[in-house]
Structure 1
Amino acid sequence: MIKTQNRVTITEEDFTIEELISVARYNLPLELSESIKQKIKQGRALVDGFVAENRVIYGITTGVGENSKIRISVSESRELQKKLIMSHACGMGDPLEKEVVRAIMVMMIKNFSHGYSGVRLETVERLVEMVNKEVIPFVPREGSLGYLNHQAHISLVLLGIGEAYYQGILVDGETALKKALIRPIELHEKEGLSLINGTVDMTAIGALAVYDAIHVLKAADIVSMISFEALKGTYYAFDPKISQVKRHPGQRKTTDNIHKLIENSEIAERFKDYRLQDALSIRSIPQVHGACKDNVDYVRTVVEREMNSATDNPLVFNDQDGARAISSSNCHGEAVALALDFLAISLSELANISERRIFRLVSPEYSGLPPFLIEQSGLNSGFMIPQYIAAALVSNNKVFSHPSSVDSISTSGGQEDHVSMGTSAALKALKVIANTEKVIGIEWMCSCQGIEFLKPLQPGAGTKAACDLFRKYVPRLEEDRILYKDMRKAEELIHSAEIVKHVEDKIGPLQV
């Protein structure tokens, strides 16, 4: 994958999460290299040869799933492809976010770019046109066991049916294509099956989740150190020697981040001997945040491997064994499903420890600060209820952290008797990340308030930068006011990674 300032070009090079995000979220145009176009054409030539020979091949001259026992004539094969798209497009619920749909479309294109699917170049280029001209299919959120449903709704629009957003307005698929000056296609043999197959939906959603998780991890390090200062923590627990004798890289990275964030902190220096030992939610930040970093690093590896894999079924090959189509199960998403369940658990833990710090900040018996971080706490509730909100979000995360991948329900007459539930794992991970962003935002709001009571002592270079950013948008709480807008602003600044960008501009890059 080659990324320039103006476009992303799919080549034989590995495709990264950042490159996917640059197209799906930030709307960089996408194109295929000439060498990739040739690979796609070569794969299609194999399928055309199989059709001409009238070979018995799954999904080309047979039905699919349990219907694979039924022979389909060559003359019926193209009709089968359209019927596959229509019959499988039966999702339910609210639509996926537009960036999620775009990410799935990009992963469909990448999946076909290997040349092992046998899809025509014309079909792949039509998908590229839809991405670049921002024709975003309406894709219901619910109904995927790991593949099929989301891709089917996207593929409807390729045919000029279904529904899509064009320039932000939901119209029928035919109208969307017409307005974007894109011609609908007529599917050829195998194309309908390939369009709905593969792990592209869970992988695309997983890539978005990993990208956001990386920024949440950095934000959590930043905000936790404001809490550390507000709670008069002792920095002895963060001595680099501690991380040298426990050999987890995430712990070392977190310790390094901590020292950058609180460099030149008058607060940390004044209170280094305030207590012998802090509570675990403070002194174990390197161990807990570090473990989450290591887990996210593992998930990133799995997701990027899958992003660069051929996940269709069947796959077509032409090598020393001759031209053949092999039915197997690269469309099974177990590796991604397990990893994304792990991601949800990791981010839930990040929120868990954050909420415990919020609790300490608002509790005077632990913080030594005014009750609920407000003067006249009898008359004012201060930050009492934001801690309730954080507790509710953390509780919800515990439910979402139940693994999807341990479940499987037999489908298609028993032919598909074990499925990964990877798309459920991916969507669940997005929920956990969104909740964690909210919890970290609440901690940020509370810790910035707490540190106000320690003036004129100054915080560290990184923590001061974060507090200054927050105060740019949200004033100190002097007496009770409506807080949900303040909390929403904190969440926005974390989700957009503005807090990370602002702090890194001041102190340099943080590790994750």
Structure 2
Amino acid sequence: MSKISSQFRFGEDYLTSGIAIKIASGEIKGIISETSREKIRKSRQVVENIVDKGHPVYGINTGFGPLCTTMISKEETKILQSNILQSHSVGVGDPIDQEIAKLMLILKLQSLSKGYSGIAESTLDRILWHIDNDVIPVVPSQGSVGASGDLAPLSHLFLPLIGLGKVIYNDNEIATSALFKETGLTSLDLGPKEGLALINGTQFIAAHAVKVVEKLHSCLSQADIIGAMMIEGLQGSVKPFYNELHELRPFKGNVHVASRVKSLLKGSEIMEDHIDCDRVQDPYSLRCIPQVHGASRNAWLHLKELVEIELNSVTDNPIIIDEELTISGGSFHGQPLAMAIDYACLAASEVGNISDRRIYLALEGNSPGVPKLLMEDTGINSGYMILQYTTAALASENKGLCFPSSADSIPTSLGQEDHVSMGSIGGRKALRVIENVEKILAIELLTAAQAFEFRKPMKSGVILDEIHKTIRKEVPFAEKDRVFADDINKGIDIIKNKTIITLANNVANKENLSLETKFSTQFEIY
């Protein structure tokens, strides 16, 4: 693959959200190094020795969950591993996104390659084949309670290893049996503990968390830029972004946001035009951008740090330390990520909430030179009034989705698994909230660009001016009503494609401007 620029060694190198996403996109190639292979082989041999000696070890020669006291004969241990994949494949609902399923493969391979799971080298090579060839299992979205591992989704993820389930192959959904005919692959003969190692773990939760890290980072960066443009359009004050203020309350996110917004407003004729105006202070949705965006930045940073720990951890059960020590513990429990995902979900919702408030503020007509509803000829025209109805609906929907999934627990497995994290539900829900925030930000982008237009011929800072020109190439200034849904869809594309982030960085580099702060490296995903 020509676009691959480097390699990642599973089980040996440090995995981050950004690296995982690059492996999924093909920008980085994953390999299993010889160092990792040696650990994998040693761990596998320990499992084989346990089976030969007949000492009871959970999941190797015993049943699962409430059947943990049921001994399994040496001859039946392999049947047990195939059965567990089938019996636990009980997922329902629409399939998860193909990228998230691929991330699950990547994250599981990283965990198993650490050499503490007793899985066979050949099984890991087959998982790597699926990643390299972009043959992605079909995984239902519902059925995991986020403890004892993401059992149902991981079972569906690995059914193709034993010739069952479905996959996406050459952009088509086909049965694994058809894939085998097409490629010449054959079903794997799973050995003792392998089935359990495959389905025990947090990779469904973690894969969703990786996407939350990526997409929330994008929303936060774009919210700062769009917020700065709205400040320009409504001629807000730059003083709330002064370093002197934030040094007295130095939360990392606040300092970072204030510095970025202030740098975006630097050199603006619009800001200079009202430097001596009689307005004392702006509404909170403008004045408190550092505090609100910054708090969400801090929540994002917390999730990012926890996700990186999880991506480089062993989360199946039992853990094979050596022949004398196997530990049946609870590292499959999703609570560490579940709570942080709920926090990030709330943080994302608040970005959309304050964005909706700025949109409403822009429509009021209280900023000199900016007409009510952002249109001169209203009455016969409704202007931008109804766009805010949409953001109000989305912001309200998000509030309903912010109830923390991790606050709930329902006993399963006949009481053996009597506390579960529900992190799988939280991960899916957080992505729904972020998708709504992307739509809200798209509408604020259009609204800010419309308000910005009334400041002409004055110029903003060079970055915001270039962003405004780029928006106008896609969405023209609105002098009268039109089908604004078309504009909104174009705005959503701009947000999803991260167009304004790329443009801001390119202009900053070209003009030798800095959008960095001393905390900037903490707010990157790589």
Normalised by the length of structure 2, the TM-score is 0.93
Mapping 1:436-447, distance limit 5 Å: 436-447=437-448
Indicate if the aligned counterparts of 1:360 and 1:367 stay in contact, CA closer than 8 A: no
Is 1:342 aligned with 2:343? yes
Indicate if the aligned counterparts of 1:111 and 1:308 stay in contact, CA closer than 8 A: yes
Indicate if the aligned counterparts of 1:228 and 1:282 stay in contact, CA closer than 8 A: yes
CA–CA distance in structure 2, aligned partners of residues 178 and 226 of structure 1: 56
Is 1:506 aligned with 2:507? yes
Mapping 1:111-510, distance limit 5 Å: 111-146=111-146, 147-274=150-277, 275-318=279-322, 323-365=324-366, 369-508=370-509, 509-510=515-516
Q: Deviations over 1:382-430 (max 9, x none)?
A: 2111111111111111111110111000000000000011111111111
Is 1:88 aligned with 2:88? yes
CA–CA distance in structure 1, aligned partners of residues 41 and 365 of structure 2: 69
Give the partner amino acid of 1:414: G
CA–CA distance in structure 1, aligned partners of residues 368 and 394 of structure 2: 23
Structure 1 gaps of 5+ residues are: none
CA–CA distance in structure 2, aligned partners of residues 177 and 485 of structure 1: 44
Matched residue of 1:405: which SS?
helix
Structure-2 change in CA distance of 1:367 and 1:20 (3 Å): farther
CA–CA distance in structure 1, aligned partners of residues 29 and 14 of structure 2: 18
Matched residue of 1:93: which SS?
strand
Indicate if the aligned counterparts of 2:40 and 2:118 stay in contact, CA closer than 8 A: yes
Indicate if the aligned counterparts of 2:238 and 2:265 stay in contact, CA closer than 8 A: no
Give the partner amino acid of 1:276: V
What is residue 101 of structure 1 aligned with on the other side? 101
Q: CA deviation at 1:234?
A: 1.2
CA–CA distance in structure 2, aligned partners of residues 459 and 286 of structure 1: 20
Q: CA deviation at 1:181?
A: 4.6
Indicate if the aligned counterparts of 2:4 and 2:28 stay in contact, CA closer than 8 A: no
Indicate if the aligned counterparts of 1:135 and 1:180 stay in contact, CA closer than 8 A: no
What is residue 512 of structure 2 aligned with on the other side? none
Give the partner amino acid of 2:78: R
Q: Deviations over 1:95-122 (max 9, x none)?
A: 1011000001101101101111101010
Indicate if the aligned counterparts of 1:232 and 1:272 stay in contact, CA closer than 8 A: no
Q: CA deviation at 1:11?
A: 4.7
CA–CA distance in structure 1, aligned partners of residues 248 and 262 of structure 2: 18
Matched residue of 1:170: which SS?
strand
Matched residue of 1:30: which SS?
strand
Q: CA deviation at 1:364?
A: 1.6
Indicate if the aligned counterparts of 2:88 and 2:151 stay in contact, CA closer than 8 A: yes
Indicate if the aligned counterparts of 1:374 and 1:383 stay in contact, CA closer than 8 A: yes
Corresponding residue pairs, total: 507
Matched residue of 2:174: which SS?
strand
Q: Percent identity?
A: 35
CA–CA distance in structure 2, aligned partners of residues 280 and 31 of structure 1: 50
Indicate if the aligned counterparts of 1:63 and 1:70 stay in contact, CA closer than 8 A: yes
Matched residue of 2:155: which SS?
helix
Q: CA deviation at 1:67?
A: 1.4
Give the partner amino acid of 2:51: V
Give the partner amino acid of 1:184: S
Q: CA deviation at 1:498?
A: 2.0
What is residue 31 of structure 2 aligned with on the other side? 31
CA–CA distance in structure 1, aligned partners of residues 484 and 53 of structure 2: 70
Matched residue of 1:8: which SS?
strand
Matched residue of 2:219: which SS?
helix
CA–CA distance in structure 1, aligned partners of residues 466 and 142 of structure 2: 41
Q: Deviations over 1:420-456 (max 9, x none)?
A: 1111111111111111111111100100011101111
CA–CA distance in structure 1, aligned partners of residues 487 and 100 of structure 2: 27
Normalised by the length of structure 1, the TM-score is 0.96
Q: CA deviation at 1:186?
A: 1.6
Give the partner amino acid of 1:311: T
CA–CA distance in structure 2, aligned partners of residues 76 and 368 of structure 1: 80
Indicate if the aligned counterparts of 2:11 and 2:114 stay in contact, CA closer than 8 A: no
Q: CA deviation at 1:271?
A: 2.1
